[in-house]
Structure 1
Amino acid sequence: MQEREGGAALAPGEAVLVVGAGAMGRGIALVAASAGHLVFLSDVSEEARRRALTAIAEELDGGVRKGRMSAEEASAIRDRIRAVAEPQSVASQVRLVIEAIVEDLEVKRVLFASLEPLVPPQAILATNTSSLSITAIAAPLARPERVVGMHFFNPPTRMKLVEVVSGLATAPEVAQAIRDTAVRWGKIAVMARSTPGFIVNRVARPFYAEALRVLAEGAADCATLDAIVREAGGFPMGPFELMDLIGHDVNFAVTSSVWSAYFYDKRFQPSLIQQELVWAGRLGRKSGRGFYDYAAGAQRPAAAEAPPCLDRAPSAVAAVGEFGPFSALLERLAAAGVVVHRRPADAGPVRIEAADVWIVPTDGRTATRLAHEYGHADVVVLDWARDWAQTPRAALARADGCAQDSWACALGLLQRAGIAVTPLDDVAGLILARTVAMLANEAADAVLAGIGTPRDIDTAMRYGTNYPLGPLAWGEATGVARIVGLLDRLAELYGEDRYRVSPLLRRHLWNGRPLASGDEGERK
């Protein structure tokens, strides 16, 4: 991502003050010093300052050992970081202040109020808050227009994304200066409007919420659901292992904060399962136990997998209707020696007919509902996958009345294509389909609310969470009609506002324009 013309990025000779020497503060200080700035790292705790300088030195030494920099370069960076006890003592020397202190609105307000009269008139006051309102932080100041969010992700030295967040009073040139500074520091910067969760912490909520709901409904265990999301979806981690890594206290607090900030919108409702883990002190890796056990010698449970049924695989199938992104599965079956007869759509669902069984790509209806609606007992529903040409795993669920022979036929068919099959209980939307649909829906609503452009929202989710695709691009690749149809059926089944379709998704369904547009104006 290139720096925009006319940007006002900080020059390397201008000093930066980072307040708070915890993990985030020291990481931000190292990023700024590596870009050539003199950095004052402030913390009231002498021990925190000492630990921060030690950690910075260790990270620089590691960079030298790995050949990322010379010893001289590491020494120069180290020399540009100076620890101070009182931020007010150096405030007059800096062009940029970045606070990374406790997530408490009043504490941040007091800090900025103490620094505002001391910093130069052109200095910018940036907050690394991940959840508090930029507008609220800036409101008591004499010049709220120079307050902006500069939200780094942990660890700042490795995560590429920075959210540049504007409050109601933030001057456009201030946001632009921070955006250009982040780019100069080697980051990928996105612009966001100050709303609860900004981009990433809002749009990511369904990744956790849908997995927790499917777990609560007994579809499968954590290891099985994680494996599907990871291997079929291409996500670097499944939702349960990621929540264990983040810490359930942190993840639950963020979800609760976004939920309350949006006046208890059902889309962001926290999970009772996660609340129980927090109450029990099972916070994940840092406590030794969460969804998984991290004690020495503990065995990680394996994902459920269907037994081999290759001997039941049919030699020929019929593919009825338009398969869209599932077409690559048909090609994969053909490459495995299965004869695939294509037939036009009829009054039934899009499906693969293999002997007596219908294999239906999930559209939000359960297999049992499909069996009832079409009067065909042997129905199996198939979850979505990121890339059917290469996916190593797929999830299936069968109708309550599906015969065992038909179930074995469906399992064997996918196994013949080299796909490990994971059986789930018959829940609506299975796991990957409902997760992807809800992520795309939330991203569309964020665009509609003016929180960010489609490009910035997809970029934020790719680099802030390491998703394999931005949710809008994924929704477009899947098909807006499929996303809307699945959400409508979930809303019908659950009777909840949680699954309401974003008006922007419906608009794109009707106008046929690209969902993942690079220019916000293109959707008008």
Structure 2
Amino acid sequence: MPAVSAVAEVHGSIGVIGVIGAGAMGRGIAQIAAQAGMQVKLFDVQADAAENARKAVLAQWEKLQQKGKLTEQQFHSAKQQLQVVTAMDAMADCEIVIEAIVERLDVKRDLFRQLEAIVSAGCILATNTSSLSVTAIAAGAAMPERVAGLHFFNPVPLMKVAEVIAGLRTRSEVVQRLVAFTHQTGHRPVITKDTPGFIVNHAGRAYGTEALRVLQEGVAAFPVIDAIMREAAGFRLGPFELLDLTGLDVSHPVMESIYQQYYQEPRYRPSVITAQRLQGGVLGRKTGRGFYDYTDGAQTVPQADAADAIAGAQPWTGWIWISPENPEAAASVRALLERCGANIENTPEPSADSLCLVAPLGEDVSTCVVRQKLDARRTLGIDSLFDCQGHLSLMSNPATDTAIAQQARALLLQSGQGVSLIQDSPGFVTQRILACVVNIGCDIVQQGICTPDDLDRAVELGLAYPFGPLAWGDKLGASRILTILQNMLAYTGDPRYRPSLWLSRRAQLELSLKHQQG
């Protein structure tokens, strides 16, 4: 058999590929490759699975043609390119073979051993694994140098990104060839080291796990957390809506897998909430019940803030004192109160009957009350992370008078913005979740898993976040994110909040979080 360097001798566009596994992922990969003009050989060990997949792809192309997104000529050309094969021997002339079969190491290794007896030495063997080590899969091959990961996302035609994963022994030419192939399909390739979760599943940990932590601490109900993250931070789905969409049978095992593969790194700690719901079969949309209830796939539980149901609260009409501790936050709170027509007290200290508003970063209201010697009964916190624009979070402390809190909320509603009243928490909701998102992203690039640009693009395309983790950090301010994490770590003692070195150094030096040395 020729040396693996034969891979490097293959130049130009990919002409023939093989796809093994005709499930949702294999079918999607076959579709985009055939649309790109490649000859695709689709194989599945289950009788009729590949043919049924081909029919499903043809139906998709017909819909695209009807919508004007595919010409008649393109449809017929792609149809000719997609071929169902009944034996793996037909893969002999393939330049790349991509497996999208069951997530079992032994099965994938056995498949690649079979393929090595069929394909040429120059053929690349790619795994679409989302959770297994590419290095471990390649270790079972006679030529591990030509084995790499090529992880697409479901639904493949719509999720325009693919992770190209180099195992420890993967040749650089193989990675370059898969990058070119991905570009050829119209998708964006992002290169990542072979680490647990690669880029997207790794970077996506904080959004769900920190939201679950917020819920577990009783800070806010899950519909409130979802509303805050959608309407304040601009996420398409709140964390619990996303968990319901994905299904806990998928999400929770990934949480546990990454936590264990990183030897119980606190930043990735799973939640007992999803573990219990998984055991109870309350998985999300697919079971008709998750965090929300569903009828015919539609959510039936209102998403509105639970506090909206409390009637009768009149807006606060007395004086309001704004803490001057954080001048930037104080300015945005003042602008908000002016929009509401509030009576603002311009004194160094609050008067005896005024409502006190604090705007901490990574701290809770209780801490501010003690440090500033305020009346806890009349003190509330407001999240200024987004300069008091969009959905507002108003935070009480254990001693806050309930009537005063409701009056304060009623006053802020006069701004025309949504207002959620939540319980005391270091970091509110948005600060906690976004600081953790940014921090994990920073640690990914600190470890050299991928480049800053590939991280942000992978997260934006693979998770549909408004911004990638590093762009979020730059937008909100790296120093503010660092302050939030430092304060949460000091208050809770939980190492999940320890700041990444990448974040700490760039915040101190006032550099962009995307800055790379050299």
In the superposition, relative to structure 1, how do residues 328 and 496 fare at CA in structure 2: closer, same or farther (>3 Å)?
Answer: closer
Aligned match of 1:445: 443
Q: 2-side partners of 1:327 and 1:54: how far apart? A: 60
- Say whether the 8 Å CA contact 1:370–1:379 is kept in structure 2: no
Q: Is 1:278 aligned to residue 274 of structure 2?
A: no
Aligned match of 1:3: none
- Say whether the 8 Å CA contact 1:316–1:354 is kept in structure 2: no
- TM-score, scaled relative to structure 1: 0.89
- Cα deviation, 1:314-349, whole Å, max 9, x if unaligned, reads 688657355558866655555666688999xx9x9x
Aligned match of 2:502: 504
Q: Is 1:320 aligned to residue 317 of structure 2?
A: no
Q: CA deviation at 1:122?
A: 2.1
SS at match of 2:103: coil
Aligned match of 2:194: 194
Q: Is 1:206 aligned to residue 206 of structure 2?
A: yes
Q: 1-side partners of 2:15 and 2:351: how far apart? A: 68
Q: 2-side partners of 1:479 and 1:426: how far apart? A: 24
Q: How many positions carry a matched residue from both structures? A: 505
Q: CA deviation at 1:85?
A: 2.7
Letter in 1 for 2:363: R
Letter in 1 for 2:517: G
Letter in 1 for 2:452: P
Q: CA deviation at 1:443?
A: 0.5
In the superposition, relative to structure 1, how do residues 362 and 42 fare at CA in structure 2: closer, same or farther (>3 Å)?
Answer: farther
- Say whether the 8 Å CA contact 1:305–1:423 is kept in structure 2: yes
Q: CA deviation at 1:409?
A: 5.4
Match of 1:304 among 306, 314, 319: 306
Moved more, 28-37 or 480-489: 480-489
Q: Is 1:43 aligned to residue 44 of structure 2?
A: yes
Q: 2-side partners of 1:321 and 1:216: how far apart? A: 30
In the superposition, relative to structure 1, how do residues 117 and 288 fare at CA in structure 2: closer, same or farther (>3 Å)?
Answer: same
Q: CA deviation at 1:387?
A: 6.9
Q: 2-side partners of 1:337 and 1:368: how far apart? A: 27
Q: CA deviation at 1:359?
A: 2.4
SS at match of 2:157: coil
Q: Is 1:368 aligned to residue 366 of structure 2?
A: yes
In the superposition, relative to structure 1, how do residues 380 and 319 fare at CA in structure 2: closer, same or farther (>3 Å)?
Answer: closer
Q: 2-side partners of 1:504 and 1:169: how far apart? A: 28
Aligned match of 2:77: 76
Match of 2:517 among 515, 518, 521: 521
Q: 2-side partners of 1:208 and 1:317: how far apart? A: 35
Moved more, 253-262 or 219-228: 219-228
In the superposition, relative to structure 1, how do residues 374 and 340 fare at CA in structure 2: closer, same or farther (>3 Å)?
Answer: closer
Q: 2-side partners of 1:313 and 1:153: how far apart? A: 53
- Say whether the 8 Å CA contact 1:18–1:40 is kept in structure 2: yes
SS at match of 1:189: strand
Aligned match of 1:123: 123
Aligned match of 2:111: 111
Superposed, 1:417-456 pairs within 5 Å as 417-456=415-454
- TM-score, scaled relative to structure 2: 0.90
Q: 2-side partners of 1:152 and 1:10: how far apart? A: 23
In the superposition, relative to structure 1, how do residues 330 and 33 fare at CA in structure 2: closer, same or farther (>3 Å)?
Answer: farther
In the superposition, relative to structure 1, how do residues 175 and 298 fare at CA in structure 2: closer, same or farther (>3 Å)?
Answer: closer
In the superposition, relative to structure 1, how do residues 470 and 298 fare at CA in structure 2: closer, same or farther (>3 Å)?
Answer: closer
Query: Where does the alignment leave 5 or more consecutive residues of structure 2 unmatched?
Result: 1-7
Q: 1-side partners of 2:357 and 2:419: how far apart? A: 13
Q: Is 1:488 aligned to residue 486 of structure 2?
A: yes
Q: CA deviation at 1:35?
A: 0.4
SS at match of 2:174: helix
Q: 1-side partners of 2:123 and 2:110: how far apart? A: 17
Q: CA deviation at 1:311?
A: 3.9
Q: CA deviation at 1:373?
A: 2.4
Query: Where does the alignment leave 5 or more consecutive residues of structure 1 unmatched?
Result: 1-6
Q: 2-side partners of 1:106 and 1:61: how far apart? A: 38
RMSD: 2.8
Q: 1-side partners of 2:280 and 2:402: how far apart? A: 41
Aligned match of 1:155: 155
Letter in 2 for 1:191: I
SS at match of 1:312: coil
Letter in 2 for 1:229: M
In the superposition, relative to structure 1, how do residues 471 and 114 fare at CA in structure 2: closer, same or farther (>3 Å)?
Answer: same
- Say whether the 8 Å CA contact 1:229–1:235 is kept in structure 2: yes
Superposed, 1:27-426 pairs within 5 Å as 27-87=28-88, 89-295=89-295, 299-301=300-302, 302-306=304-308, 311-312=315-316, 320=324, 322=326, 324=328, 330-331=334-335, 333-334=337-338, 356-376=354-374, 377=376, 378-383=378-383, 386=386, 388-389=388-389, 391=390, 393-404=391-402, 406-408=404-406, 410-426=408-424
SS at match of 1:236: coil
- Say whether the 8 Å CA contact 2:319–2:353 is kept in structure 1: no
Q: CA deviation at 1:495?
A: 2.4
Letter in 1 for 2:141: L
Q: CA deviation at 1:130?
A: 0.8
Letter in 2 for 1:521: Q
Letter in 1 for 2:217: E
In the superposition, relative to structure 1, how do residues 412 and 54 fare at CA in structure 2: closer, same or farther (>3 Å)?
Answer: same
In the superposition, relative to structure 1, how do residues 458 and 353 fare at CA in structure 2: closer, same or farther (>3 Å)?
Answer: farther
- Say whether the 8 Å CA contact 1:358–1:379 is kept in structure 2: yes
Quote the sequence identity (%).
Answer: 37
